[in-house]
Amino acid sequence: MKKIFTVILLMGLVNAAIAQQKISWSFVAKKISNNSYVLHMTATPPIGWHIYSQTTPEGGPIPTEFKFTNNALLTVAAAKPKEVGKLITYFDKNFKVDVKYFEGKVDFVKTVTVKGKIKTNISGMVESMICNDRTCMPPTTEKFNIALN
């Protein structure tokens, strides 16, 4: 009976540890001119896990996606943020598509322009998912609010 209890306890601990795996996000704006800022939205998955590119094709895992809240004081280009990191592309037999993910930290970079000499914020959310070589976590959504001073 003790062996069964020990096995159940260990399985619960392993599942709890896996369930707590999530991406650590940081959001920073750097002023590059009077009215322009470069946003750095940096994802750091746990060791052994990876996050998917915004360009991972349909039929594959959930790609990372940024949604910016409308702000009349800002000009935000429609283009997706630039991805800076170690991109890996491979054909996944399970999804039957070329999957694109980042090994380790990835920086999503986007330029925005403030209309006039004012202080404002840019906010929104990012949806992403992480996987390792055995399992995936459900997609998560992280809200952000970045000061533009």
Distance, in Å, from the CA atom of 131 to the CA atom of 149, rounded to the nearest integer, reads 36
- For the cut 60, the answer to whether the pLDDT of residue 9 exceeds it is no
pLDDT tens for each residue of 96-117: 999 999 999 999 999 999 998 8
Query: 54 in a domain, yes or no?
Result: yes
Per the prediction, the chain carries an average pLDDT of 88
Query: 89 in a domain, yes or no?
Result: yes
- For the cut 80, the answer to whether the pLDDT of residue 5 exceeds it is no
pLDDT at residue 20 in the model: 65
Query: 5 in a domain, yes or no?
Result: no
pLDDT tens for each residue of 22-59: 999 999 999 999 899 999 999 999 999 999 999 999 99
- Nearest one of 94, 143, 97 to 121, comparing CA atoms: 143
Structure tokens at 43: 């994802």
Domain count, the chain: 1
CATH classification of the domain holding 118 = 2.60.40.1250
CA-to-CA separations, 108 to 1, 40, 119, in angstroms, rounded: 52, 6, 23
- For the cut 70, the answer to whether the pLDDT of residue 142 exceeds it is yes
Distance, in Å, from the CA atom of 63 to the CA atom of 135, rounded to the nearest integer, reads 16
Distance, in Å, from the CA atom of 112 to the CA atom of 50, rounded to the nearest integer, reads 27
Question: Which residue range forms the structural domain that includes residue 142?
Answer: 23-148
Which letter does DSSP use for residue 139 in this model? P
Query: 1 in a domain, yes or no?
Result: no
Query: 92 in a domain, yes or no?
Result: yes
pTM score of the predicted model:
0.84
Query: 67 in a domain, yes or no?
Result: yes
Structure tokens at 47: 């060791």
**Which residue would you say has higher pLDDT here, 89 or 133?**
89
Distance, in Å, from the CA atom of 71 to the CA atom of 146, rounded to the nearest integer, reads 12
Categorize the per-residue pLDDT at 95 as very low, low, confident or very high, splitting at 50, 70 and 90: confident
Query: 108 in a domain, yes or no?
Result: yes
Query: 6 in a domain, yes or no?
Result: no
3-state secondary structure 62-80: CCCEEEECCCCCEEECCCC
